[in-house]
Structures are given as structure tokens and as C-alpha cells.
């Protein structure tokens, strides 16, 4: 589904990703871990198509197509979804409207009929239960004045509505208490299917008690310095990152 080959990316001329190679197959969950500043969010943003990051070399294939060539909105319409580490507040645009605009954009790209507000409401109400969100949140502006946990849940709600093929969750667990973490993880697990995949970026092993990864990758200094099975996460939890960083230094 996703093939990243020797990916190098820079921001304002400063190289940040320095040769990432990663393959994610349908049905898999990959965890990307690593210390602060190692490039996890950069990788996530690059996959989502943020224009600030320049791909200096390497390639990204998504369902066999060159992802780098696609605009962010096109990627989303093709099923790529990024749950932001820092979800953006959009005062003045209601959650309900935003969700429907996103949902319809995807339908339209697939050549399907758009849904009207009433139909859409039925669909959303079901998804709201998945993340245990108050329907009143639909009528508030997107993320505006939401607590940290509400913002993260809202990301998962968007994900649930858009039903992505490739979901990338960037530290969706950070700052969540254990109940919120369970809800978020439950949402992710409920959406898991043989024909989709997820990349779960996290700083802590804790989330991986709830979302069990097929593979764990450790990112440091813009490179994947170690990959392994789910037990690697436990080892990182016990030993920290330093031993790995020393090994590659």
C-alpha cells in the first residue's frame, strides 16, 4: 500500500529526513517511535503533503502511484488521513460543516453523489458514539476552544467519517488520560480492516497496549535506526532510546 524509498526531505534548506525506507502493507499497523525532534512529525506531514517540506530525493508510492506529485487534498480524497499532533483551530467553521465538506469532497472525487446535511447527520451520529463525543460538539467551530483530549477525539471522529485507506496518527495519544486513550485506541481498532493500514506515531509505548502493531520502527536523526516486532516497543519502554542512539552514533 505504501512504499517509502530512501526518502530525504528538508525544510527551508535544512535536511530533516535523511533516507527513510519503509513498506506498509494492507492490513498492517506500524508504530513509529523515537525521541523528540527525530523527524516523526516531519514524516507524517510529508505523507500528508504539507507544502513546507521539500522532498530532496527518494520516492513515495501509495497504491502504486507517486504520492509526491499529488496535492494534499488529492491525497486525502484518495484515502490518506493524518491525525495531527497539534489539531488546528478553525473559528467560524462548524465541525458539522467541515466534516461534511470533507466527506463530500471524497465522494465527489470518487464520482459519487454528495450527501445532504440530513443524511450526513445520521452517518455522523453513529461515528460520534465510537469516540464517545457529545453531538453538541458538531455545532461548535472546528477545534476552537476544545481541550487537548477533545481535539484528539475530534481527529479520530474525522478519521471515522472519512474512513481512510492509510491512516497516520501523529502522537494522538500524547496528553490523553487513560480513559481518553482507550477511547481513541478503540476508535482506531474499530476502523481496522484487511484493506486498510495505519502508521501510529507515538513517543510512548503505552498506546501500543491498546493498538497492537505489526512492526515498530525507531526514528532518530531523520533515519530509521531500528525496526522490529511489537516487543521492540517494550524494550524501548524499559531501556529508553539512549542505547539505540549510542549504537548508531
Partner 1 sequence: MSTTLSAPALLEQANHAAAADVPAVLRAARAEGAEQFAALGLPTTKNEDWHYTSVSSLAAIPFAPMTGDDSDLSPDALAEHRLDASWPTLVFVNGVYQPSLSDTSALPAGIRVLPLGDAVSALGDTVSRLLGSTAPASRDGFTALNASFLGEGAVVHVAKEMVIDTPVHLLYVTTDAGANGMHHPRVLMLAERHAKATVVESWVGLTEQPYFTNAVAEVVVEDGATLTHLKVQREGRGAFHVATIEATQGRDSHYVSFCFTTGGALSRSTISTLLNGAGCGTTLNGLTMLDGAQHGDVQTRIEHAQPQCFSREIYKSILDEHSHGVFNGKVYVHPIAQQTDGKQTNNTLLLSKTAQVDAKPQLEIFADDVKCTHGATVGQIDQTALFYMKSRGVDADTARQLLTYAFAADVLETIENETVRDALELVTLHRFTSLATVTG
Ligand X SMILES: Nc1ncnc2c1ncn2[C@@H]1O[C@H](COP(=O)(O)OP(=O)(O)O)[C@@H](O)[C@H]1O
Contact footprint for partner 1 (CB under 8 A): 48-51, 71-73, 75-77, 81-82, 84, 87-94, 96-98, 100-102, 105-106, 109, 117, 120-121, 141, 158, 162
CA distances from 211 to 80, 119, 191 (A): 19, 31, 12
What is the 8-class DSSP label of residue 187? H
Q: Would you give the binding string for ligand X spanning residues 180-219, x where CB under 6 A is met?
A: ----------------------------------------
Query: Around Cβ 27, how many Cβ atoms within 10 Å?
Result: 14
Joined together, the cell numbers standing for residue 84 give 495531527
Give which of Mg ion, ligand X, partner 1, none residue 42 binds (C-beta under 5 to 8 Å, depending on kind).
Answer: ligand X
In 3D space, the residue among 220, 216, 244 whose CA is nearest the CA of residue 29 turns out to be: 216
What Å distances lie between residue 56 and 2, 38, 82, 223, CA to CA?
19, 18, 22, 15
Strand order in the sheet with 14-24: 14-24, 2-11, 53-62, 65-66
In whole angstroms, the minimum distance from the beta carbon of 223 to partner 1 comes to 25
| CB 41, min distance to Mg ion, A | 3
The grid cell for 179 is: 480513559
Q: What is the dihedral of CA 185, 40, 154, 189, to 10 degrees?
A: -20
**Binding characters for ligand X, 156-175, by CB under 6 A (x = yes):** --------------------
Q: 3-class DSSP state for residue 84?
A: coil
- Looking at the Cβ atoms of 42 and 78, the one nearer to ligand X is 42
Nearer to ligand X, 3 or 54 (CB): 54
Indicate which single residue of 42, 165, 196, 205 sits in contact with ligand X (rule: CB under 6 A): 42
- Draw the binding track, 12-41, toward ligand X (x: CB under 6 A; -: no contact): x---x-----------------x-xxxxxx
Count of residues that bind ligand X according to CB under 6 A: 12
C-alpha cell, 101 = 465538506
Residue with cell 465522494: 107
Shortest Cβ distance from residue 18 to ligand X (Å)?
Answer: 11
Q: Is 205 in the site for Mg ion (CB under 5 A)?
A: no
Residues that bind ligand X (CB under 6 A): 11-12, 16, 34, 36-42, 52
Amino acid at each position: 500500500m505504501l512504499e517509502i524509498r530512501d526518502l530525504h526531505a528538508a525544510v527551508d534548506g535544512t535536511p530533516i529526513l535523511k533516507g527513510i525506507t519503509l513498506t506498509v502493507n494492507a492490513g498492517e499497523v506500524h508504530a513509529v517511535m523515537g525521541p523528540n525532534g527525530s523527524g516523526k512529525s516531519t514524516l507524517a506531514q510529508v505523507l500528508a503533503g504539507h507544502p513546507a517540506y521539500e522532498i530532496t530525493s527518494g520516492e513515495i508510492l501509495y497504491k502504486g502511484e507517486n504520492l509526491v506529485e499529488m496535492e494534499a487534498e488529492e491525497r486525502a480524497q484518495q484515502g490518506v488521513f493524518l491525525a495531527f499532533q497539534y489539531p488546528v483551530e478553525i473559528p467560524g467553521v462548524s465541525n458539522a460543516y467541515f466534516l461534511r465538506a470533507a466527506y463530500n469532497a471524497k465522494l465527489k472525487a470518487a464520482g459519487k453523489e454528495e450527501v445532504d446535511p440530513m443524511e450526513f447527520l445520521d452517518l455522523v451520529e453513529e461515528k460520534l458514539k465510537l469516540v464517545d463525543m457529545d453531538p453538541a460538539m458538531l455545532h461548535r467551530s472546528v477545534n476552537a476552544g476544545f481541550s487537548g483530549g477533545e481535539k484528539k477525539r475530534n481527529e479520530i471522529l474525522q478519521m471515522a467519517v472519512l474512513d481512510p485507506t492509510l491512516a497516520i496518527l501523529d502522537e494522538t495519544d500524547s496528553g490523553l488520560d487513560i480513559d481518553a486513550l482507550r477511547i481513541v485506541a478503540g476508535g482506531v481498532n474499530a476502523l481496522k480492516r484487511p484493506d486498510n493500514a495505519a502508521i501510529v506515531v507515538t513517543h510512548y509505548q503505552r498506546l501500543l497496549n491498546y493498538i497492537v502493531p505489526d512492526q515498530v520502527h525507531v526514528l532518530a536523526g531523520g533515519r530509521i535506526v531500528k525496526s522490529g516486532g511489537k516487543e521492540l516497543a517494550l524494550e524501548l519502554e524499559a531501556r529508553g532510546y539512549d542505547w539505540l542512539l549510542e549504537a548508531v552514533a
